[in-house]
Chain A
Amino acid sequence: MFARTRPAAVADTLPWAAFLATTLALLGSILLHARWLPTSLLSAFLLLLGLRVALRWRGVARIALWQRLLVALALVAMVVSTLGNLFGREAGSALLAAMLVTKLLESETRRDARIVLTVVAFLAMAGFLFDQGMLQAALTAAVCLLMLAAMYELDPASAQQAQRAPLRAFSSAGLREAARHLALAIPFALVCFFLFPRLSSPMWGAPQDGFTGRTGISDTMEPGALAGLALDDSVAMRVRFDGEPPPPAQRYWRGLVLWNFDGRIWRGSEFLSGFGAERALDRRGPTIGYEITLEPTDKRWLFLLDAPLGPPDDATLSADFQARAARPVSSALRYRGESSSVYRMQSELPRGVRQLGLQLPAAGNPRARALAQDWRTRVGDDPRALADLALRSFNQSFSYSFEVPLLGGDPIDDFLFEVRSGWCEHYASAFVFLMRAAGVPARVVVGFQGGYYNLSGDYFAVRRSDAHAWSEIWIAGEGWVRIDPTAAVAPERVSRDARQAFEAGGTWYERGWLASVRDRFDLVGYWWTQAVVQFSAIRQRSLLEDVGIDIDDGRQLAFALLGAAVLALALAALVGGMRRRRGRDPLREAWRDWCKRLAKAGIVRAPAEGPHDFGERAAAALPAHADAIRALTHGYVALRYATVEVGRGAVDQWRQRARAFRLR
Chain B
Amino acid sequence: MATAIVRHGWQRLLQLAERRLPALTRYRNTEALPIALHRRRIYILPTAFGLLFGCMLVVMLLGALNFNNNAALLLTFALAGAVQISMPRTVRHLERLQLLAVRASPVHAGQDMLLAFHFAITDQVPRWRMQLEGAGRSLRFDLEGDSGVAELAVPTSRRGWQPVGRYTLSTSFPFGLLRTWSVLHPDQRVLVYPRPEGRGPALPRGIALDAGIALSARGDDWHGLREYRAGDPTRLIAWKSSARQDRLLVREFEEPRGDEVVLDWNTLPGLDNEARISRLTRWVLDASASNLAFRLVLPRQILGPARGHDHVAECLRELALLP
Contacts and interface: CB of A to CB of B under 8 A. Distances in A.
Interface in B55-101: 56-57, 59-60, 62-82, 84-86, 88-89, 92
A140 B53 CA distance: 18
Interface string B83-124: 011101100100000000000000000000100000000011
Given A5-B136, A152-B174, A533-B70, A583 B125 contact: yes
Q: Is the interface of A mostly helix, strand, loop or mixed?
A: helix
A3 B135 CA distance: 7
Contact of A121 (B53, B92, B140, B176): B53
B176 A331 contact: no
A185 B81 contact: yes
Contacts of B156: 2-3
A132 interface: yes
Interface in A147-176: 148, 151-152, 154-161, 173-174
A410 B176 CA distance: 68
A193 to B, nearest CB: 5
B253 interface: no
B227 interface: no
B34 interface: no
Contacts of B136: 3-7
Contact of A192 (B72, B77, B135): B77
Given A188-B77, A196-B73, A121 B60 contact: yes
Contacts of B52: 114-115, 118
A129 B71 CA distance: 9
Contacts of A203: 62, 65-66
B176 A114 contact: yes
A125 interface: yes
Interface stretch (B141-149, B230-238, B261-269, B314-322): B141-149
Contacts of B86: 181
Q: Which of A119, A568, A573 has its CB near the most chain B CB atoms (within 10 A)?
A: A573
A609 interface: no
Contacts of A606: none
A132 B69 contact: yes
Which residue among B52, B53, B74 has the maximum number of chain A CB atoms within 10 Å of its CB?
Answer: B74
Interface in B136-173: 136-138, 140-142, 145-146, 154-157, 162-163, 165, 172-173
A446 interface: no
Nearest to A640: B146
Given A2-B156, A2-B157, A5-B155, A196 B175 contact: no
Given A181-B82, A185-B78, A188-B77, A2 B70 contact: no
Contacts of B222: none
B68 A202 contact: yes
A136 B69 CA distance: 13
A572 B78 CA distance: 13
A577 B71 contact: no
B170 to A, nearest CB: 12
A81 B157 CA distance: 67
Contacts of B255: none
B128 interface: yes
A432 B76 CA distance: 52
B67 A202 contact: yes
Contacts, number: 206
B254 interface: no
A563 interface: no
B142 A160 contact: yes
B65 A189 contact: no
A120 to B, nearest CB: 10
Interface string A584-609: 11001000000000000000000000
Contacts of B197: none
Contacts of A10: 138
Nearest to A6: B136
A122 interface: yes
Contacts of B57: 121
Interface string B171-192: 0111111000000000000000
A122 B59 contact: yes
- Most B CB within 10 A of own CB, among A158, A173, A174, A576: A158
Interface in A91-128: 111, 114-115, 118-119, 121-122, 124-125, 128
B274 interface: no
Given A173-B128, A199-B65, A583-B125, A185 B172 contact: no
Given A2-B154, A2-B157, A581-B123, A157 B129 contact: yes
Given A128-B75, A161-B129, A198 B85 contact: no
A114 B50 CA distance: 10
A628 interface: no
Given A2-B156, A181-B89, A125 B74 contact: no
A429 to B, nearest CB: 39
B138 to A, nearest CB: 6
Contacts of A3: 135-136, 155-157
Contacts of A5: 135-137, 155
B10 interface: no
A111 B48 CA distance: 10
Contacts of B154: 2
A177 B69 contact: no
A188 B85 CA distance: 9
Contact of B162 (A2, A160, A173, A196): A2
Interface string A608-625: 000000000000000000
B49 interface: yes
A555 interface: no
A148 B82 contact: yes
Contact of B79 (A121, A198, A331): A121
A312 to B, nearest CB: 20
17 contacts: A2-B155, A2-B157, A6-B136, A114-B176, A118-B52, A125-B64, A128-B64, A129-B72, A132-B69, A144-B82, A152-B176, A155-B129, A157-B140, A158-B129, A161-B129, A573-B88, A583-B125
6 closest pairs, A vs B, by CB? A185-B81, A188-B81, A5-B136, A189-B77, A155-B176, A3-B157
Given A7-B138, A157-B128, A159-B140, 18 more contacts: A10-B138, A118-B49, A122-B59, A125-B72, A125-B76, A128-B69, A140-B71, A144-B78, A144-B82, A152-B175, A155-B174, A158-B141, A161-B129, A178-B82, A181-B175, A185-B77, A532-B74, A573-B88
Interface of A: 1-7, 10, 111, 114-115, 118-119, 121-122, 124-125, 128-129, 132, 136-137, 140-141, 144, 148, 151-152, 154-161, 173-174, 177-178, 180-182, 184-190, 192-193, 196, 198-199, 202-204, 206-207, 331, 532-536, 568-569, 572-573, 576-577, 580-581, 583-585, 588, 646
Interface of B: 49, 52-53, 56-57, 59-60, 62-82, 84-86, 88-89, 92, 113, 123-125, 128-130, 133, 135-138, 140-142, 145-146, 154-157, 162-163, 165, 172-177
